[in-house]
Amino acid sequence: MNPHNMSFPEILDNFRDRWVTFTMKDKSQRKLYVEEIENQLDGWDDVIFMVTPPKNDPKLLDISLNEIVSAVPGEHEPLNTNI
């Protein structure tokens, strides 16, 4: 799915509170749990996906829509903090 072609309500419906596999601009893929999504109404310059940081990258907290090529939503699964 291309979140760049979606309205903000569509982005919320498809990606909030679930696992999402992101394809980044550097062609890497990251499966991350998206806790919340904010936008310009929240004071950001872009749409921001607020993710639970994986243990192997504890500094990762947010992903900007500008960094993403595509995103595939997964199911609503309980968050396993041992990722």
Q: Output the pLDDT for position 81.
A: 52
Q: What is the pLDDT along the chain (83 residues), one digit of tens a residue?
A: 899 999 999 999 999 999 999 999 999 999 999 999 999 888 888 999 999 877 777 777 899 999 999 999 997 776 665 54
What pLDDT sits at residue 41? 85
Domain ranges of the chain: 3-73
pLDDT on residue 3: 95
CATH topology of domain 3-73: SH3 type barrels. (2.30.30)
Kindly report the pTM of this predicted structure: 0.83
Concatenating the DSSP letter of every residue in the chain gives --GGGS-HHHHHHHHTTEEEEEEETTS-EEEEEEEEEE-GGGT-SS-EEEEPPPTT-TT--EEEGGGEEEEEE-------TT-
Q: What is the Cα–Cα distance from 25 to 76, expressed in whole angstroms?
A: 25
